Amino acid sequence: MRRPRRFLAGAALCLSCAAPAAADGIILDGVSAFTIGRGGTNIAFADNGSILHDNPAAMGQMESEGMFQLGATGLWTEFQYSDANNPDTVGQHQFYVLPEISYIRKMSDEWAFGAGIFSPAGFGSIFNLEGQAPFPGPQRYKSFGSLSKLLFGASYTPTDRLSFGATMGPALSFANFEGPYTLQGPTAPGLPTLLDMEVDGFALVWSAGVQYQLTDSTSIGASYQSRSKIEASGTTTVDTPLGSTSYDTDATITWPQSVGLGVRQQLTSRQVVSADVIWFNWADAFDSFDITLTNPSNPAFPPITEQFPLLWQDSVSTRLGYEYHFDGGQVIRAGYVYHRNPSPASTMTVFIPAALEQAVSMGYGWMWRDWNVNLAYMYSFGSHEYETTSQLIGGDFDNSVHYDQTHAAAISFTKLLGPKQGCECSSPIR
């Protein structure tokens, strides 16, 4: 419908197209191979380009004069859904690529600056299900949503051990929903439709953080990321038993604010353990998805105001990481993540698969010429979610079961600038 516009918007962010997430709700548990390999922990680290996203204060604690990082994460989804008409249905397996790039430079002992592109959140699925009346037979349920950020950051280091940092920049979000949908109101609640909606928009987002070196082997950090409230626009086509029309569409897409605390502890000259705890404010961001449809192409149809209930709850993500450093710049990593599913069973649909609760990860890094190369893998999974009576009008998802899992594989190339360039020492870089 609006492919050229989507392409140009994506190009404006250097092709920073996000994808469905292996994550807390639909927020990624790590945005680079560095962090994914150690369970997403990064708030108290200063060894990779993703610090610009996770805690910009860490730019002031880098042991090098700067760094350039380029990488990508490939995500493979496995979603399952079951109800009386669709026993043990597996959604189409999807593969998505999430790029990340960052450049950070220390300008003096006090000041460091950086810029980067990150894709920290998303959702999406494709199911072919038996539809209900008045649209029986095989029906396609398709969704895609994404959040990408272009961030510019700075950090200030008043002492050797203490740094403050902040970022600001535009966030781009897409949302696409296609398939049978019963209107929830306030306009025409209960009206069955076939919906095809596509919207996108920008908003200004920011973050702030602090990092402190308690000792030569212990660092702590804290970070805040603002919500991304995006007033998106686009088009929607609506088919009903009475006819069809298209609309101009305005929708509010809100991604949650978060607060995180992290600690990094170097146990020996070769071993590092880490922990991050992050609160996500889902209750405010995903209470409902608000849509306004205007200017119908068919004058027999009225404008529509729609509120799709989500009723998500806040969640706390606990992330644990481990690293062992060998001679020659080699390192192995492992991690574990736990968070509850923020989506209540009563409002779960196949459009936003989010029943992920735990993740395990591993990673490996080595020096190649002057580059630090890192690989990582993360498996995310949850429990079977049983939805007896849906709160959604229409009963489309009554007596259903949801089960989600994802696989993420990441690679990153990091080049340190300055004294630590090409370092092959066994001791970890902070």
What's the angle, vertex CA 317, arms to CA 323 and CA 33, rounded to 5? 40
pLDDT in tens, the chain (430 residues): 444 344 334 434 444 444 554 566 689 999 999 999 999 999 999 999 999 999 999 999 999 999 999 999 999 999 999 999 999 888 888 888 999 999 999 999 999 999 999 999 999 999 999 988 899 999 999 999 999 999 999 999 999 999 999 999 999 999 999 999 999 999 999 999 999 999 999 999 999 999 999 999 999 999 999 999 999 999 999 999 989 999 999 999 999 999 999 999 999 999 999 999 999 999 999 999 999 999 999 999 999 999 999 999 999 999 999 999 999 999 999 999 999 999 999 999 999 998 899 999 999 999 999 999 999 999 999 999 999 999 999 988 999 999 999 999 999 999 999 865 444 444 566 6
Domain annotation covers residue 33: yes
Tokens representing 114 are 């950086």
Residues spanned by the domain of 82? 3-417
Tokens representing 307 are 């509120």
Domain annotation covers residue 201: yes
Nearest to 358 by CA among 410, 312, 317, 387: 317
Q: What per-residue confidence (pLDDT) applies to 185?
A: 96
Domain annotation covers residue 294: yes
| Distance from chain centroid for Cα 295 | 33
Cα–Cα dist 293/236, whole Å: 8
Residues composing the chain: 430
Domain annotation covers residue 244: yes
Q: What per-residue confidence (pLDDT) applies to 418?
A: 81
Domain annotation covers residue 324: yes
Cα–Cα dist 383/365, whole Å: 32
The CA-atom distances, in angstroms, between 96 and each of 21, 144, 248, 364 are 10, 11, 29, 22
Token pair 């439709």: residue:
193
374-389 core/surface letters (b: 16 or more CB in 10 A; e: else): bbbbbebbbeebebee
Strands 358-368 and 271-280: unpaired
Task: Tally the domains of the chain.
Answer: 1
Q: Which residues contact 400 (CB under 8 A, 6 or more apart)?
A: 81, 82, 83, 348, 386, 387, 390
Q: What per-residue confidence (pLDDT) applies to 92?
A: 86
Tokens representing 167 are 């970022």
**DSSP code, position 291:** E
Task: Give the alpha-carbon dihedral of 41, 47, 49, 52, to 10 degrees.
Answer: 70
Domain annotation covers residue 428: no
Asked if 52 and 59 touch (Cβ cutoff 8 Å), the reply is: yes
Question: What's the CATH code of the domain at 243?
Answer: 2.40.160.60
Domain annotation covers residue 424: no
Cα–Cα dist 282/279, whole Å: 9
Cα–Cα dist 221/263, whole Å: 6
Q: How many Cα neighbours within 13 Å face the side chain of 199?
A: 25
| Distance from chain centroid for Cα 241 | 37
The CA-atom distances, in angstroms, between 425 and each of 160, 331, 365, 428 are 22, 11, 13, 8
Q: Is 1 helix (H, G, I), strand (E, B) or coil?
A: coil
Domain annotation covers residue 275: yes
The CA-atom distances, in angstroms, between 176 and each of 4, 141, 198, 253, 351 are 15, 11, 4, 11, 10
Nearest to 385 by CA among 412, 348, 350: 348
Cis-peptide into 56, omega within 30 deg: no
Count of beta carbons in the 10 Å neighbourhood of residue 262: 26
- Written as one string, the DSSP assignment of 327-385 is GGG-EEEEEEEE----S-GGG--SSS-----EEEEEEEEEEETTEEEEEEEEEEE-PPE
